[in-house]
A and B are shown apart, each in its own frame.
Chain A
Amino acid sequence: MSSHNTVSFSEARRVAVFGGTHGNEMSGVTLVNLWVKNGAEIQRKGVETKPFITNPKAVEKCSRYVDTDLNRAFTPENLSAPGGDDLPYEVQRAQEINRLFGPKGSPEAYDVIFDLHNTTSNMGCTLILESSKDHFNLQMMNYIKKAIAPASCPVLLNEHPLLKYSTSRSVAKHPVGLEVGPQPQGVLRSNIFEAMRVILKHALDFIELFNEGMEFPPCTVDVFRVSERVDYPRDANGNIIAMVHPNLQDCDWEPLNPGDPMFQTFDGKTIHYEGAGTVYPTFINEAAYYEKQQAFVTTRRETLVASAIRKA
């Protein structure tokens, strides 16, 4: 461990909790609606925590999105696009959210945004990190992991130049994704709902402690860094011709070695993983990713070092 310097951050005074970025991911929709009615649970001393439904039309339809995926919509092009009402619904929403909680990249942006998601994949409680150099977020994730031990919450780092995408939460200085599964779209499972609630509670506790002046010493955080997207085998017409193999199904975060079964064709043949080395797949068989040409994403394990942090 070699961080010599303590990194200072200003107090995290403005925090938002986003639900319904995908309208059929029910834990976040339900929690945020609850907290909009009565937000006592998410308030902390010195912090203004705002619960917010990002995609109300999609929530009303109980669909992932109306025109386009909101969680891919926060690109610079979209955020500055003219056209007002003619723009796709989610692009309009992105601009509105950027006005309310950003502008993205500016000093006025919210300090922290938690974006609540569910997945049909067996990912447990996953924390999603967008930058390996965000020491504040790394310390938060270390705090959460320790708080819920021996239960675990894997940290997914998506810093891949091509696969990284422009999320709702990216408007904030410190974006944090909470991805909890497995849960079918449109379904509310009480165990998944409670798990997400607990993770968020610890995250807010961390912010409160930080704001009160607690110094967090240097630490390491084990992460899974996104490496590669793997699509389903398809025929010439783009139709899927194989399913995630029963040996791989539900095995998020477990090692996939060269030669291991990966897909099973509809007539029962096995297709093996032929990568160069061991990878750790995740987002295995996520419903929403069939149309994004992704059966799973591979990751590699890495240990990140977080500097000590304290408030400025």
Chain B
Amino acid sequence: RAKVVHLSRLSRVAVCGGTHGNELSGVYLVRELQKTEKPLEEEDELVSVLVVLSNPRAVQQCRRYTETDLNRCFTHATLNGPESDKTPYEITRSRELNSLLGPKGSPEAVDLICDLHNTTANMGLCLIAYSDHDWICLHIFRYLQANIPVRYIHFDFPPKEAYSLESVGKHGFAIEIGPQPHGVVRSNIYTTMKAGVQHVMDWVRFFNSGTIFEGGSVEVYTMVKNIDYPRDSETHSITAAIHPQLQDQDFCLLHPNDPLFQTFSGETLRYKGKEPLYPFFINECAYYEKGIALSLARRKCVKMPPIQVKTELEHQENEWEFASEEDE
């Protein structure tokens, strides 16, 4: 039988919305959570919750960002770079958020960040994280899965290069829900996100109160590569759209030679890769400018050990644990 892994309490949790100002489920959920006093905390305060509107200027303008994408500003290099009066708003803001929720990589960082996002892609509910062996994230995922359909997407980046907000916390993931147009709030999507956040907080409380979460295995999608639209060599404008047979088919296995794009003159362009892969972020609006028509992932099974919160005694005896967890 697998040995129980003991992990530190999650004393401080941050729920962030409006990291992209036009992804409205998170914007409205954060607003609602900020209205009710201590909506997510129990009276015995097993956990303290920060509710944060990440990019207020972009929210106010209902745009993804004002000068640069906030959710690409959390690499170590950007967080620690020079400051001037020409520094873009979002970089100044990422450093503020790093002070509030971090500093990234230090013992003062919040224990868990949950960053709320929407996508125009038909991805349903996904957790997106940088690790496929962060047992906190994976156990939260498994707990969610028992309650709602959800998938886990893994971006294999080392912490210093991880560029998004959730990498500031000791543990973190994005909650991504689609399809929803940017600038729109759909009630079913909002309800799903609200339920998702509630389940995450329930899990955190169970964990902090000593529950043992049994080991097991889960399926994880690890991002492999992106595919851009075909573009005109001079103007760089796209010359084809996602093929009607691929549109909305996120997580349906894409085989070599399957249709990818349909040119404006009706020609079908096909997937030339050798390996069948799982597509996601198919036709995400914000990715046109990033040169991404769709992303592709490999699916694998990940085994997780049973976990339980560390007792106070264990915590004191093993303060160096933090550093070694970081190294994994």
Interface Cβ pair total, 8 Å cutoff: 85
Q: What sequence of 0s and 1s flags, for each residue 188-205 of chain A, a beta carbon within 8 Å of any chain B beta carbon?
A: 111101100000000000
Q: Is B87 an interface residue (CB 8 A)?
A: no
Closest CB in chain A relative to B301 CB, distance in Å: 34
Q: What sequence of 0s and 1s flags, for each residue 172-199 of chain B, a beta carbon within 8 Å of any chain A beta carbon?
A: 0000000111111111101100000000
Q: Is B241 an interface residue (CB 8 A)?
A: yes
* Residues in A neighbouring B185, C-beta threshold 8 A: 240, 243
Docked complex Cα distance between A185 and B286 (Å): 10
Given A34-B264, A243-B187, A267-B32, the answer on whether A287 and B182 have CB atoms closer than 8 Å is yes
Which residue, of B63, B181, B185, B186, has the highest number of chain A Cβ atoms within 10 A?
A: B181
* Residues in A neighbouring B262, C-beta threshold 8 A: 190
Q: Which residue on chain A has the smallest CB distance to residue B240?
A: A190
- Give the number of residues in B that approach A within 8 Å (Cβ atoms): 33
Stretch of B10-18, B200-208, B242-250, B314-322 with 4 or more beta carbons under 8 angstroms from chain A: B242-250
Q: Which residue on chain B has the smallest CB distance to residue A263?
A: B187
B interface, by DSSP: helix, strand, loop or mixed?
A: loop
Q: Is B255 an interface residue (CB 8 A)?
A: no
Given A30-B264, A120-B181, A187-B283, the answer on whether A245 and B187 have CB atoms closer than 8 Å is yes
Given A190-B262, A191-B244, A193-B241, the answer on whether A184 and B28 have CB atoms closer than 8 Å is no
Q: Contact partner of B242 among A63, A186, A190, CB < 8 A?
A: A190
Docked complex Cα distance between A188 and B191 (Å): 27
Which residues, 55 to 93 on B, are CB-close (under 8 Å) to A? 62-63
A184 and B187 contacting across the interface, CB-CB below 8 Å: no
B283 and A189 contacting across the interface, CB-CB below 8 Å: yes
B62 and A243 contacting across the interface, CB-CB below 8 Å: no
- Give the number of residues in A that approach B within 8 Å (Cβ atoms): 34
Closest CB in chain A relative to B84 CB, distance in Å: 26
Q: Is A249 an interface residue (CB 8 A)?
A: yes
Q: Contact partner of A285 among B186, B283, B288, CB < 8 A?
A: B186
Docked complex Cα distance between A290 and B61 (Å): 12
* Residues in A neighbouring B145, C-beta threshold 8 A: none
* Residues in A neighbouring B120, C-beta threshold 8 A: 184, 186-187
Q: Is B47 an interface residue (CB 8 A)?
A: no
Docked complex Cα distance between A264 and B186 (Å): 10
Q: Is A288 an interface residue (CB 8 A)?
A: yes
* Residues in A neighbouring B28, C-beta threshold 8 A: 240, 243, 266
Q: Which residue on chain A has the smallest CB distance to residue B235?
A: A33
* Residues in A neighbouring B238, C-beta threshold 8 A: 188
